Chains A and B, each alone.
Chain A
Amino acid sequence: MNLNLTLIGQLIAFTIFVVFCMKYVWPPISGALADRQKKIVEGLDAADKATRDLESAKSQIEDELKQARTQVTELLEQANKRSAQIVGEAQGKAQLEAEKIIASAQVQIAQDAAQARESLRADVAQLAVAGAEKVLRASVDRAAHKKLLSDLAKEL
């Protein structure tokens, strides 16, 4: 328990260690701690902001979905109307066409009937001539009668 120069030595060593700590240890560490604190605060703020952004994005999505739904309904309605229109138009056209076909068929029929009547008329005249020839063979002047008959056929 002697007091001696160790006292001074310890005082000097103590001073040196404190100065070292003050110059080279404390500032970097407390600086890093302050930086980290700042970073954490910023991180928390960013997280809050992100949550808020997410919320607003969600509501936006909802709005857009609603809009899209109404649009789809409108489109469907339009499409239905259009299809009904198209069907109606097609029906009208078909009706017209059918009427046209029917009309042309009737014309054809009338023509055919006229032709048939013509040929029938010729045939009947021939048959009548042939029949009359057979009946009147002996006494009839063939040339005179032939002229007579052809005149008759023309008149028919």
Chain B
Amino acid sequence: MALQNPTPSEYIQHHLTNLTYGYHPENGWSFAHGAKEASEMGFIAIHVDTMAWSVGLGILFCWLFRVGANSAHSGVPTGVLNFVELMVEFVDKSVKETFHGSSNLIAPLALTICCWIFLMNLMDLVPVDLVPYLFMSAGVEYMKIVPTTDVNATLGMSIGVFLLIVFYSIKIKGFGGFVGELTLQPFGKWMIPFNFLLEAVGLIAKPISLALRLFGNLYAGELIFILIALLPFYLQWFLSVPWAIFHILVIVLQAFIFMMLTIVYLSMAHEHH
């Protein structure tokens, strides 16, 4: 359904729809044609574009850092190694400032989060029509190239972080300690249901806020790029250039915030109350 002269709302709708493959009650296993079919597929569906771009960018990250790691030596660093070391030292410093336990996982986790999210956010700076247009010429109807504007992607990562929070809480404090933390504070044992309600909300809010913060910021940024793209072409640069420059800050900041909050949550999971 390549749109011929779409209305602005159709245009926006088109740009905000993922390429979805899943099980449709009527059509069986197929690509969804339009947002309505995609939502009818329910949970048994997958955003092919989100998965492809995010995995591709993740592989790019792994490859780049693996190249750096392979050439790692204690002499004078050059080229890729220089950049990789810069990132590693930056992340290591951030982790050491916040997290005081010893863990082999948290620093690499933070590095992966920081770089992967940055790369995914970076796709936001690619002109909004370029890649969808190319794919549409090849017959692919929808193509959303910024994985972090898909709430599934951000929630997937934040659930990963959430599982680690639970895992470390139980590992450090024991199952009883973790349950106790959820139920015996802040009001003591006579208020267990109320305490549990408060603490559970606090716990669940961590992954949700992580995911929605990143998703919301990037989604809004993408939306504004799309709105700017609706302007006449001779006016676009006037808004898109400042917005893109501002967005360079946003994409780095969001990657950094996701990383820092992950470190903070995990260091909280390591602490006894």
Task: Write out the residue numbers on chain B whose beta carbons fall within 8 Å of the beta carbon of A26.
Answer: 69, 88, 104, 107-108, 111
Does the CB pair A28–B69 fall under 8 Å? yes
Task: Decide if A156 is an interface residue (CB 8 Å cutoff).
Answer: no
CB distance from B228 to the nearest CB of A (A): 22
Q: Pick the contact of A22 from B72, B104, B116 — CB < 8 Å?
A: B104
Among the interface residues A7, A24, A30, A38, which one has the most CB atoms of the partner chain B within 10 A?
A7
The reply to whether A10 and B109 contact each other, CB–CB distance below 8 Å, is no
Report the count of interface residues on B (CB-CB < 8 A): 52
Q: Give the distance to chain B from A95, nearest Cβ to Cβ, in Å.
A: 84
In the complex, are the beta carbons of B88 and A29 less than 8 A apart? yes
Q: Count of chain A residues with Cβ under 8 Å from any Cβ of B?
A: 33
Question: Given the interface contacts A14-B156, A25-B62, A29-B68, does A4 sit within 8 Å of B89 by beta carbon?
Answer: no
A57 lies within 8 A of chain B by Cβ:
no
A29-B160 in contact (CB<8A): no
Interface string of B32-59 (1 = CB under 8 A from A): 0000001101111111001100110010
Residue of A2, A15, A16, A26 contacting most chain B CB atoms (<10 Å):
A2
Residues of chain A with a CB closer than 8 A to B43's CB: 3-5
Which of B6-14, B146-154, B171-179, B235-243 forms contacts with chain A?
A: B146-154
Q: Are B108 and A10 in contact (CB under 8 A)?
A: no
B66 within 8 A of A: yes
CB-CB under 8 A from B62, the residues of chain A are: 17, 20-21, 24-25
Closest to B49 in A: A6
Across-interface contacts of B85 in A (CB, < 8 A): 29, 32-33
- Provide the bound-state CA to CA distance between A18 and B105, in Å: 8
Task: Give, as a whole number of angstroms, the nearest-CB distance from A63 to chain B.
Answer: 41
Evaluate contact between A6 and B153: CB separation under 8 angstroms.
Answer: yes
B44 touches A4 (CB 8 A): yes
Residue of A nearest to B62 (CB): A20
> Is B157's beta carbon under 8 Å from chain A?
yes
B69 to chain A, nearest CB (A): 4
Does A13 interact with chain B (Cβ within 8 Å)? yes
Interface string of B188-222 (1 = CB under 8 A from A): 00000000000000000000000000000000000
> What is the bound-complex CA distance between A45 and B242, given in angstroms?
51
Contacts of B272 in A (CB 8 A): none
Jot down 30 A-B pairs with beta carbons below 8 A, ordered by A: A1-B151, A2-B41, A3-B151, A4-B46, A4-B47, A4-B152, A6-B150, A9-B152, A9-B156, A13-B54, A17-B58, A21-B65, A21-B108, A21-B112, A22-B104, A22-B105, A22-B109, A24-B69, A25-B68, A25-B108, A26-B107, A26-B108, A29-B68, A29-B84, A29-B85, A30-B92, A32-B74, A33-B89, A33-B92, A36-B77
Additional pairs, 15, CB under 8 Å, beyond known A3-B155, A4-B152, A29-B69: A2-B42, A4-B43, A6-B45, A6-B47, A10-B155, A11-B157, A13-B156, A17-B61, A21-B65, A21-B108, A25-B69, A26-B108, A28-B70, A32-B73, A35-B73
Using CB atoms and an 8 Å cutoff, list the residues of chain B in contact with chain A: 18, 20, 22, 38-39, 41-47, 50-51, 54-55, 58, 61-62, 65-66, 68-70, 72-75, 77, 84-85, 88-89, 92, 104-105, 107-109, 111-112, 116, 147, 150-153, 155-157, 159-160
